[in-house]
Amino acid sequence: MSELARNAGIALAIARKDALAELRGKHATTSTLFFAAIVLLLFGFALGPDSRKLTEAAPGLLWLAIVFAGLLAVGRLHLVETDDGALEQLALYPVDRRAIYAGKALSGLAAMLVLGGVLLPVVAILYGIDLAAAWLPLIVTLLLGAIGFAAVGTFYAGVTVRMRAREVMLPLLMLPVIAPLLLAAVKATTAALGGDPFGELTSWLQLLAGYDIVMLIAGAATYGFLLEE
């Protein structure tokens, strides 16, 4: 078996294991989704009943809700490794560290896509947005944003998993790094929903794709050090 195929098998096994653990702890998934939906609802209350204002703010609020809930999701994906020495055992398997990173990032990506897939229609309902006209660019934006978030989130969840104050440290370390992703994702979503009158959608998507590539390479190259004690 080639090294690439072996690494892909390892990454898929890790992602499958995380998915099984996540699905069996249904309360955690449901809580995260409810948390994100409540955040969106509260943003709506804060902005008032002005539908024009809500529509304008919708892309930013959507991505803020995805980011807040995503922080919970990626943190939890590493928390499963704190079960009875599981992280140390994972580190001691004779496998390429990049494959472990890819597996955890894949789990993060799946969680982010589920979050985005649920929150997009919630935003449409709460803020009166028509998704049908812009579904394709919205899906591309969501996918690229989710990849970048998972790439960064996996790295920082690895950094903080052994810390006592990990719930505080994860957002503290991660939010500044994902600021460019948040900006590009909000701009791309705004452009997609507005029909892209200034032709800027492609540029923002390119920025997101570039961010994803850089973060994935950096994460894969450095994640192995986080497994060392």
**Which of 67, 8, 4 lies closest to 35, judged by CA?**
67
Which residues within the stretch 163-192 sit at the binding site for another protein (CB under 8 A)?
A: none
Min separation Cβ 229 and another protein, Å: 5
Backbone angles phi, psi at 117, to 5 degrees: -65, -35
Q: How far is the CB of 91 from another protein (least distance, A)?
A: 7
Which member of 20, 41, 172, 214 binds another protein (CB under 8 A)?
A: 20
Q: Decide: is 221 part of the binding site for another protein (CB under 8 A).
A: no
- The nearest distance, CB 100 to another protein, in angstroms, is 9
Using the minimum distance from each CB to another protein, give the nearer residue, 204 or 223. Answer: 223
- CA–CA gap between residue 43 and residue 184 (Å, rounded): 21
* Interacting residue with another protein among 25, 60, 180, 210 (CB under 8 A): 25
24 binds another protein (CB under 8 A): yes
Kindly report each contact of residues 79-82 with a partner whose C-beta sits within 8 Å and lies 24 or more positions away, as own/partner.
79/161, 80/18, 80/21, 80/22, 81/161, 82/161
Site string for another protein, 94-133 (x = CB under 8 A): xx--------------------------------------
Rounded Cα distance, 110 and 114, in Å: 6
Q: 176: how many CB neighbours lie within 10 A of its CB?
A: 9
CB of 5 to another protein, least distance (A): 11
Question: What is the C-alpha separation between 107 and 94, in angstroms, rounded?
Answer: 21
CA–CA distance, 122 with 38 (Å, rounded to integer): 10
Rounded CA-CA distance 34/21 in Å is 19
- Under the binding rule (CB under 8 A), the answer on residue 8 touching another protein is no
> Quick one: which segment of 17-25, 55-63, 119-127, 210-218 binds another protein (CB under 8 A)?
17-25
| One character per residue 66-95, x = contact with another protein (rule: CB under 8 A) | --------------x--xxxx-xxxxxxxx
The DSSP annotation for 18-80 comes to HHHHHHHSHHHHHHHHHHHHHHHHHHHHHH-S-HHHHHHHHHHHHHHHHHHHHHHHHHHHHHG
Residue from 13, 42, 179, 221 touching another protein (CB under 8 A): that is 13
Binding footprint of another protein on the chain (CB under 8 A): 6, 9-10, 13, 17, 20-21, 24-25, 80, 83-86, 88-95, 228-229
